[in-house]
């Protein structure tokens, strides 16, 4: 499968490594690059403030694609709140901007280090994925099947709000040095 990743930072590289390990063809684009061709799955590994502009720039090319939002919409000035309405999420906002695409929420509850290692402590790194299209979630899961990651369906796209809250909590714990950037939440007792 062809995977496009917008973002060449730690998260983009760690996500891309897992897709490549699973046998997919991965291409990366940075903020100054122009993407001529997009893959079957397009991962938005960019900060939340860059999401809307990127969606608008590539709206036509993203039509019919699976678009994965990894953002945590935090107020990075105060590090004390999410900046999306309480009844919404960054993923929900992205789906509104990309009505001809299928948006999934994933990778926002993991750190780059745990994606690189495939482990959180002694547990496999679990990627929680939310979305309204069951086929898209199965395609996403299949694209990572031969990686070190475990993918767990977290429900409909409306669950992205809870995933973003969980990502926010994990980030604040790491930023306050209560956990390391190689730590996080693990999931016990799931089927692969």
Mean pLDDT computed over 31-52: 95
pLDDT at 129: 98
Q: What is the sign, positive or negative, of the torsion defined by CA atoms of 54, 33, 45, 50? A: negative
Q: What is the pLDDT of residues 125-141, one digit of tens each?
A: 999 999 999 999 999 99
pLDDT at 76: 85
Which candidate, 84, 106, 93, 113, places its Cα nearest to that of 183? 113
pLDDT band at 69 (very low <50, low <70, confident <90, very high): very high
Q: What is the pLDDT of residues 45-58, one digit of tens each?
A: 999 999 999 999 99
pLDDT at 191: 61
Distance CA 182, CA 17 (A): 16
Distance CA 72, CA 81 (A): 10
Q: What is the pLDDT of residues 88-98, one digit of tens each?
A: 999 999 999 99
Q: Chain centroid to CA 102: how far?
A: 13
Q: Is the pLDDT of residue 183 over 60?
A: yes
pLDDT band at 180 (very low <50, low <70, confident <90, very high): very high
pLDDT at 117: 96
Percent of all residues in the chain with a pLDDT value above 70, rounded to a whole number: 98
The mean predicted confidence, pLDDT, of the chain is: 95
Task: Show Cβ contacts of residue 139 under 8 Å, excluding neighbours closer than 6 positions.
Answer: 1, 40, 41, 66
pLDDT at 133: 98
Which has more pLDDT, 183 or 191?
Answer: 183
Q: What is the pLDDT of residues 146-161, one digit of tens each?
A: 999 999 999 999 999 9
Q: Chain centroid to CA 55: how far?
A: 15
Q: Is the pLDDT of residue 190 over 80?
A: no
Residue 33 · residue 58 · CB < 8 Å: no
Residue 48 · residue 10 · CB < 8 Å: no
Mean pLDDT computed over 28-34: 92
């Amino acid at each position: 499968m062809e995977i496009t990743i917008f973002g060449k930072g730690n998260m983009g590289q760690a996500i891309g490594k897992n897709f490549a390990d699973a046998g997919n063809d991965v291409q990366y684009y940075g903020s100054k690059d122009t993407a001529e061709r997009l893959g079957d799955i397009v991962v938005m590994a960019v900060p939340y403030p860059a999401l809307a502009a990127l969606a608008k720039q590539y709206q036509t090319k993203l039509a019919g694609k699976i678009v994965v939002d990894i953002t945590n919409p935090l107020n990075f000035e105060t590090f004390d709140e999410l900046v999306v309405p309480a009844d919404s999420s960054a993923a929900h906002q992205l789906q509104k901007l990309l009505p001809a695409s299928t948006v999934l929420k994933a990778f926002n509850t993991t750190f780059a280090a745990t994606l690189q290692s495939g482990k959180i402590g002694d547990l496999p790194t679990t990627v929680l994925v939310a979305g309204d299209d069951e086929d898209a979630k199965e395609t996403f899961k299949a694209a990572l099947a031969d990686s070190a990651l475990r993918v767990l369906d977290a429900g409909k796209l409306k669950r992205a709000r809870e995933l973003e809250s969980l990502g926010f909590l994990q980030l604040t714990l790491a930023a306050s040095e209560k956990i390391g950037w190689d730590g996080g939440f693990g999931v016990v007792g799931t089927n692969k």
